[in-house]
Amino acid sequence: MTRLQVDGAPVELPAGASLLDAARAVGAWLPTLCHDDRLRPVGSCRTCLVRADGRTVAACVTPAAPGMSVDTTGEELRALRQEAVALIASALPPDALADDSPGELAETARILGIAPATAAAPHRHEPDETHPYVRLDQDLCIACGRCVRMCADVQGTFALTLTGRGSDTAVAPATGGLWAESDCVACGGCVDTCPTGALTQPGPGRGITSRSPRPDTVRTTCGYCGVGCTLDVVVRDGSVAAVLPARDGPVNRGHACVKGRFSYGYLTSAERLTEPLVRQDGVLTPATWDQALDAVAAGLRAAMEQGGPDAVAAISSARATNEENYLVQKFLRTGIGTNNVDNCSRLCHAPSAAGLTAAFGRAGGTDSFDDVERADCLLVVGANPVEAHPVVGARLLSAALDGATLIVADPRNVGLARHADLHLRPRPGTNVALFHGLAHVLVAEGLIDQDFLAERATGLDELCTLLTDYPPERAAEITGVPAGDITAAARAYGRAARPAIVYGLGVTEHLHGTDGVRTLANLAVLRGAVGGTGHGYGISPLRGQNNVQGASDMGALPDLLPGYGPVTDPAARARAEAVWGQQVPRRPGLRIPDMFRSAREGRLRALWIIGEDVCATDPDSRQVAEALDACPMVVVSELFLGETARHADVVLPAASWLEKDGTFVNFDRRFQRVRPAVRPPGTARTDFDVVHAVARTMGADLGCPTPADALSECARLAPDFAGLSYDRLDREGAVPWPCPSPHRPGESTLYTREFATGDGRAHLSAAPYLPPGEVPDADYPLLLVTGRRWAHYNSGSMTRRGGNLLLDGQGRLDLHPLDAARHGVRDGAPVTVESRHGRARLIARVGSDTAPGQVFCAFHFPADGVNALTSPHADTATSCPEYKVTAVRLRPTA
């Protein structure tokens, strides 16, 4: 602690504090035009002047020293600050300081008594209004550089620069030209920090920033990806005016990405479903809720009469809240009497849940992301967080730029790879061989933790025997990664003091995805870098959907009850039965792909799909559509009439995350609150209300009338959640599970004493490498990888309805120039891609992001048909589709 005097009062500050912190500690206000708490101070605007031990200094860059005497008051200082700010303002046109100007500069001028007339420069530039979310008016720029630093230091994109000379200096895209053509990824950081309105969000959000708390704000958690950013939604006249990154958000700390920050246009899209639809004479026709609910109930009853409870199934939504997922599984288990409930974790990180449970005992990542960020070596495998989890991607990049060794294993030249110390580019589908190659080197070079292995792990001998088959040279042959790089990566990971592993779908969405997770986890175990040892930060999956962790935590799974009690375990069933007062079926239910198979075979007779566009996003989509068409009752709860809803018998209009109350669990196991900012359109209702309503129509009472009641009920039956409640979440913001007691914090780092595997030990896996389900051949010579792009989200149902469409307007196929030449395909030209399962049409993007022989596309434009290409091959342990490997051929579209 540093003790000093500020304006005569004693002040105590933590080490590293500045005189700006000191001034704030006594409640003194200083102008801070080049400063933002999210940035390292630079002291360039010279407006936060104070006197320290008799010298006039800029407070933001002057460290608080013990015994210092600081003065922030007095006419002389006030005059100096006024002069400094007036000089800055004089380069601007007068409207920059006008009374209604919302920016920090205008407010500063008002506080210092600087009249708008001080600002006297003429307007000289036309504003750049080419971008949907960022408007640039260079005339208002004071060249404070905050935007440039937000872009570089917080976002890690380096899209901005200051150009021009002297008073002409202004921000501009670093690539020159228009904003819409720049490298900007629309995180909104520049707009949020700009003190003058030079950079603003166009439209009603203009000039609204996260700088000061506002009365018209609703605090919630982002409903796009699993990062779990805390957002403050500004509501005007019943609509969203802006969404701001909360500066005290535990994960995002004042940062956000294009999705959470700007992609709310879907809310008011004319295509939103506003009333139920019931199929009549083959046509989906508007209906009242009573009619729709009666139709659903009749369909469910008919299915049960024909085939018993197991003729009914539900796909619950990882987009929906915990409480909604809890109710869905409770309804299926108690109201219908079947375990046929699953969620899109099946398509995504089911192999993580299975693999991490087998290795360590629990289905989540082993450490918090705050831990991961402290690592001195980051091994990022099969994840593209720069595009898919941008806030985490930025934090990882910044850790790397601050000196952590970064190893990226991804076949493509993804964003993080460009900053990596080592980029390993395995052939898609060969992870297990790569991980064994790395493990081989760890063992061979003694880079393993013998004590940890002896005390806390099992399976070492078996693994070591297997590893003799995977010297780097053999791993290189299988994976295509040079043996020297495998050795170098293993050494970097093995010799680091605190390594961490972060991974994504490039590990899980494979025929042997669970083996991939387990053999990747081997590395952390061999190295003793897991379990709170202080020697590293374990292994963390970057879970995908906003609440995919939570949907599974809540038991929306065919084999597991809320809190992961197996339905086959009498004790787990008894816990649930005691709370529910009803029998829990003991046979595990159908997984998503099995539901479709069962429907095609005529056994599954009613399927309720909540918030998952299976016809667009599940693999081999022709077969999915056939399943829906074969199923006598398909109910779809949706925001939009997507591909799946078009096959439904009843469509129920749903509220989205900005319209409802509840909680989500993010990728590092934190429960966080979700709160409604606006009302759902028309008669759309929350999934929570709808599940209750359907249950009631079927004569079942699910109890828990409110979301808060649902979480407390879940807390009573799942020991890991026993300490959670809305009161606590409202008080503490984010609480990680396991959280067995209301009186103790949740555990963000797992297994500090023992692993949860039953024997208390981490289990190494000796699974051998097995080839993927499809390999290129003469007919289908290319290997297609599918994944994500930054501007769109999964089916694109939400991000395609709004400004993001201007940022990325079509589905593109990335291919290497050699393949383009070989197939006669030109950059920007339409291509037809064919696999053994179907056909897609995309636009070619020729470049070197993909290796020769490999092509890549996303699946954000369902009309392109990308998932008609993907195969029915799936992870042998969990049925997670092999989205990452499909053999294809291509030709220019005629």
Q: Under the rule (CB under 5 A), what is the footprint of Mo ion?
A: 348, 544
Please state the length of the chain: 894
Residues in CB range of 863: below 8 A, 6 or more apart: none
**Whose CA is closest to 550, among 127, 226, 313, 314?**
226
Q: Minimum Å distance from CB 448 to ligand MGD?
A: 22
Q: Minimum Å distance from CB 881 to ligand MGD?
A: 7
d(CA 667, CA 761): 24
Q: Minimum Å distance from CB 388 to Mo ion?
A: 9
Residue 382 binding result from Mo ion, ligand MGD, none, given CB thresholds of 5 to 8 Å by partner type: ligand MGD
Residue 687 binding result from Mo ion, ligand MGD, none, given CB thresholds of 5 to 8 Å by partner type: ligand MGD
Q: Mind giving me the DSSP string for 442-478? A: HHHTT-S-HHHHHHHEE-HHHHHHHHTT--HHHHHHH
Cβ nearer to Mo ion, comparing 721 with 883: 883
Look at residue 385 and give its three-state secondary structure. Answer: helix
Q: Minimum Å distance from CB 794 to Mo ion?
A: 7
Cβ nearer to ligand MGD, comparing 6 with 609: 609
Cβ nearer to Mo ion, comparing 612 with 774: 612
Residue 225 binding result from Mo ion, ligand MGD, none, given CB thresholds of 5 to 8 Å by partner type: ligand MGD
Q: Minimum Å distance from CB 507 to ligand MGD?
A: 6
d(CA 277, CA 538): 48
Q: Minimum Å distance from CB 841 to ligand MGD?
A: 15
Alpha-carbon dihedral of residues 845, 850, 852, 854, nearest 10 degrees?
-90
How many CB atoms neighbour CB 102 within 10 A? 14
Q: Minimum Å distance from CB 229 to Mo ion?
A: 17
The answer to whether residues 27 and 46 touch, using CB atoms and an 8 Å cutoff, is: no
The answer to whether residues 380 and 388 touch, using CB atoms and an 8 Å cutoff, is: no
Q: Minimum Å distance from CB 362 to Mo ion?
A: 19
Residue 381 binding result from ligand MGD, Mo ion, none, given CB thresholds of 5 to 8 Å by partner type: ligand MGD
Cβ nearer to ligand MGD, comparing 151 with 424: 424
Q: Minimum Å distance from CB 205 to ligand MGD?
A: 21
Q: Minimum Å distance from CB 354 to Mo ion?
A: 15
Residue 785 binding result from ligand MGD, Mo ion, none, given CB thresholds of 5 to 8 Å by partner type: ligand MGD
Cβ nearer to Mo ion, comparing 82 with 644: 644
Q: Which residues bind ligand MGD (CB under 6 A)?
A: 225, 317, 319-320, 344, 347-348, 381-385, 387-389, 409-412, 414, 426, 428-429, 431, 504-506, 509, 542, 544-545, 610-613, 617, 637-640, 642, 654, 656-657, 687, 785-788, 790, 792-795, 797-798, 859, 866-867, 870, 883-884
Cβ nearer to ligand MGD, comparing 116 with 428: 428
Which residue type is seen at 283? Answer: V
Q: Minimum Å distance from CB 318 to ligand MGD?
A: 6
Residue 637 binding result from ligand MGD, Mo ion, none, given CB thresholds of 5 to 8 Å by partner type: ligand MGD
Alpha carbon 574 to chain centroid distance? 35
The answer to whether residues 527 and 535 touch, using CB atoms and an 8 Å cutoff, is: yes
The answer to whether residues 362 and 756 touch, using CB atoms and an 8 Å cutoff, is: yes
How many alpha carbons lie under 13 Å from residue 735 in its C-beta half-sphere?
24
Cβ nearer to ligand MGD, comparing 394 with 654: 654
Cβ nearer to Mo ion, comparing 667 with 751: 667
Residue 71 binding result from Mo ion, ligand MGD, none, given CB thresholds of 5 to 8 Å by partner type: none
Q: Minimum Å distance from CB 642 to ligand MGD?
A: 5
> 8, exposed or middle or buried, with CB in 10 Å at 0-12, 13-18, 19+?
exposed
d(CA 264, CA 270): 13
Look at residue 59 and give its three-state secondary structure. Answer: helix
Look at residue 13 and give its three-state secondary structure. Answer: strand
Cβ nearer to ligand MGD, comparing 31 with 550: 550
Cβ nearer to ligand MGD, comparing 196 with 644: 644
Output b/e per residue, 559-578; b: 16+ Cβ within 10 A. Answer: ebbbbbbebeeeebbebbbe
Q: Minimum Å distance from CB 348 to ligand MGD?
A: 3
**Residue with the CB atom nearest Mo ion in the bound state:** 544
d(CA 164, CA 145): 13
d(CA 320, CA 141): 42
Which residue type is seen at 19? Answer: L
Cβ nearer to ligand MGD, comparing 399 with 502: 502
Cβ nearer to Mo ion, comparing 544 with 738: 544
Q: Minimum Å distance from CB 623 to ligand MGD?
A: 14
Q: Mind giving me the DSSP string for 712-779? A: HHHHHH-GGGTT--HHHHHHHSEEESP---TTS---SS--SS--SSSSSSEE---PPP---S----SS
**Whose CA is closest to 179, among 248, 222, 132?**
132
Cβ nearer to ligand MGD, comparing 13 with 505: 505
Residues in CB range of 661: below 8 A, 6 or more apart: 321, 674, 675, 676, 686, 688, 706, 707
**Residue with the CB atom nearest ligand MGD in the bound state:** 544
Cβ nearer to Mo ion, comparing 118 with 617: 617
Cβ nearer to ligand MGD, comparing 625 with 654: 654
The answer to whether residues 370 and 669 touch, using CB atoms and an 8 Å cutoff, is: no
Look at residue 347 and give its three-state secondary structure. Answer: helix
Residue 197 binding result from ligand MGD, Mo ion, none, given CB thresholds of 5 to 8 Å by partner type: none
d(CA 2, CA 333): 59
d(CA 490, CA 435): 9
Q: Minimum Å distance from CB 463 to ligand MGD?
A: 20
How many alpha carbons lie under 13 Å from residue 140 in its C-beta half-sphere?
26
Residue 814 binding result from Mo ion, ligand MGD, none, given CB thresholds of 5 to 8 Å by partner type: none
